Amino acid sequence: MTAKDLLHKILEYQHSWEDPHVKDSKPARLRLEQIESLLDAFGLSKKYINLQVQVQYFIGGRKEELSRARYLNEMNNLEYLTGGEFLKDREEHCNAELSQKIIETVTALHPGMEEYITERRLHIHWLFNNLLHFRRDVYKVTYPVGGMLEGFVAGLEYSFYLQNKLKAIITDNLDEIDETLWLILDPAQRDIEMDELKSKYNYTDHDFDSIDHKWRMENY
């Protein structure tokens, strides 16, 4: 399993299971447990915070320098990741492959800017936050619609057909975005075997089709 798999699990969890009325359900809890295990496996949880790092945060509209411990105290592991805080705890050289891609692409788009770009920070933290926000929006747009309504409505079925055709096109063209987010999450792009995830990180591989179906039958 890779950090790209983790990304997809987070997108699905935040879209479908993070709302207050379902977040305490069994399907939501088990999904979050999986995410927590993968965050640990890929070194993306608060367990890996470097307390020596000092960052200036905007607090109450003014800039105030806080310790990482104080700022992150109320933040859970998923928020630590989705807020891009893990990048502050990573050595900059770890992002070398992505940094080179950024420089090559942006200088091709803006000739003559290479010296300006290479002399300054590339702001991978901004890249991550902006691209993850966009990816969430795309996930929401491409989430499949369908299923037979109570009482067949031909017009709605045709609407769903047209929507799903476009969604398929968008989904088929997400590779570069997902690969970039994967490279940010895990520059080594590791593929961790399921046996290792289970033995070292307490990961459980659930049959969510069955779990979700049972939960819906009991609650709707």
pLDDT (0 to 100) of residue 149: 53
Output the pLDDT for position 115: 79
**Alpha-carbon gap, residue 149 to 167, rounded angstroms:** 20
pLDDT tens by residue, the chain, 220 residues = 999 999 999 999 999 999 999 999 999 999 999 999 999 999 999 999 887 887 777 666 665 666 677 788 889 999 999 999 999 999 989 999 999 999 999 989 988 877 778 767 789 999 999 999 999 999 999 987 655 555 678 898 899 899 999 999 999 999 999 999 999 999 999 999 999 999 999 999 999 999 999 999 999 8
pLDDT of res. 66: 66
Q: Minimal CA–CA distance to 90: which of 118, 129, 48, 127?
A: 48
DSSP 92: G
pLDDT of residue 163: 92
Q: Are 38 and 74 in contact (CB under 8 A)?
A: no
